[in-house]
Amino acid sequence: MDYKQLVADTLAPSLTDVLSAEDIYQKIERPKDTSKGDYAFPAFTLAKAMKKAPQQIAADLVARSTHLILKRLKLLVHT
Protein backbone atom coordinates (compact mmCIF):
# COMPACT_ATOMS: atom_id res chain seq x y z
CA MET A 1 0.00 0.00 0.00
CA ASP A 2 1.28 3.49 -0.88
CA TYR A 3 0.74 5.36 2.39
CA LYS A 4 2.07 8.61 0.97
CA GLN A 5 -0.67 8.45 -1.68
CA LEU A 6 -3.23 7.65 1.00
CA VAL A 7 -2.20 10.75 2.96
CA ALA A 8 -2.32 12.87 -0.22
CA ASP A 9 -5.75 11.54 -1.17
CA THR A 10 -7.03 12.25 2.34
CA LEU A 11 -5.72 15.83 2.34
CA ALA A 12 -6.84 16.64 -1.22
CA PRO A 13 -10.53 17.43 -0.55
CA SER A 14 -9.53 20.09 1.99
CA LEU A 15 -6.90 21.67 -0.24
CA THR A 16 -8.39 21.65 -3.75
CA ASP A 17 -8.74 25.44 -3.74
CA VAL A 18 -4.99 25.95 -3.29
CA LEU A 19 -3.20 22.80 -4.55
CA SER A 20 -3.73 20.05 -7.09
CA ALA A 21 -3.67 16.44 -5.93
CA GLU A 22 -0.29 16.00 -7.61
CA ASP A 23 1.13 19.08 -5.83
CA ILE A 24 -0.08 17.74 -2.49
CA TYR A 25 1.63 14.41 -3.16
CA GLN A 26 4.86 16.19 -4.16
CA LYS A 27 4.93 18.26 -0.95
CA ILE A 28 4.53 15.30 1.41
CA GLU A 29 7.91 14.31 2.77
CA ARG A 30 9.54 11.92 5.22
CA PRO A 31 10.75 13.71 8.38
CA LYS A 32 14.47 13.41 9.11
CA ASP A 33 13.60 12.67 12.73
CA THR A 34 11.34 9.61 12.63
CA SER A 35 10.05 10.37 16.11
CA LYS A 36 8.14 13.22 14.41
CA GLY A 37 6.09 10.74 12.39
CA ASP A 38 6.11 8.86 9.12
CA TYR A 39 5.10 11.73 6.83
CA ALA A 40 5.07 15.50 6.98
CA PHE A 41 3.11 18.09 5.08
CA PRO A 42 4.52 21.63 5.09
CA ALA A 43 1.44 23.68 6.04
CA PHE A 44 3.59 26.83 6.19
CA THR A 45 3.73 26.85 2.36
CA LEU A 46 -0.04 27.47 2.32
CA ALA A 47 -0.23 30.20 4.95
CA LYS A 48 -0.27 33.15 2.57
CA ALA A 49 -2.74 31.62 0.09
CA MET A 50 -5.12 30.48 2.83
CA LYS A 51 -4.61 33.56 5.01
CA LYS A 52 -4.15 31.40 8.10
CA ALA A 53 -1.32 30.49 10.42
CA PRO A 54 0.38 27.18 9.54
CA GLN A 55 -0.63 25.79 12.93
CA GLN A 56 -4.28 26.54 12.19
CA ILE A 57 -4.05 25.00 8.71
CA ALA A 58 -2.56 21.81 10.16
CA ALA A 59 -5.18 21.64 12.92
CA ASP A 60 -7.99 22.17 10.39
CA LEU A 61 -6.63 19.41 8.12
CA VAL A 62 -6.55 16.93 10.98
CA ALA A 63 -10.01 17.99 12.19
CA ARG A 64 -11.55 17.60 8.71
CA SER A 65 -9.95 14.24 8.07
CA THR A 66 -12.28 11.28 7.97
CA HIS A 67 -9.53 8.71 7.56
CA LEU A 68 -8.36 6.83 10.63
CA ILE A 69 -4.68 7.27 9.71
CA LEU A 70 -4.93 11.05 9.89
CA LYS A 71 -7.15 10.96 12.96
CA ARG A 72 -4.18 9.46 14.81
CA LEU A 73 -1.87 12.28 13.80
CA LYS A 74 -0.11 14.39 16.35
CA LEU A 75 -0.02 18.05 15.54
CA LEU A 76 3.61 19.06 15.74
CA VAL A 77 4.36 22.74 15.40
CA HIS A 78 7.83 24.18 15.14
CA THR A 79 8.14 27.91 15.62
Domain ranges of the chain: 3-71
> Can you give the pTM of this predicted structure?
0.76
1-7: list long-range contacts, CB under 8 Å, 24+ apart: 3/38, 3/39, 3/69, 4/28, 4/39, 6/67, 6/69, 7/39, 7/41, 7/69, 7/70
Provide the pLDDT for residue 71: 54
Per-residue pLDDT, 24: 93
DSSP-derived 3-state class of residue 65:
coil
pLDDT tens profile 25-38: 999 998 888 887 78
**For the segment 54-74, what is each residue's pLDDT rounded down to a tens digit?**
999 988 887 887 665 655 555
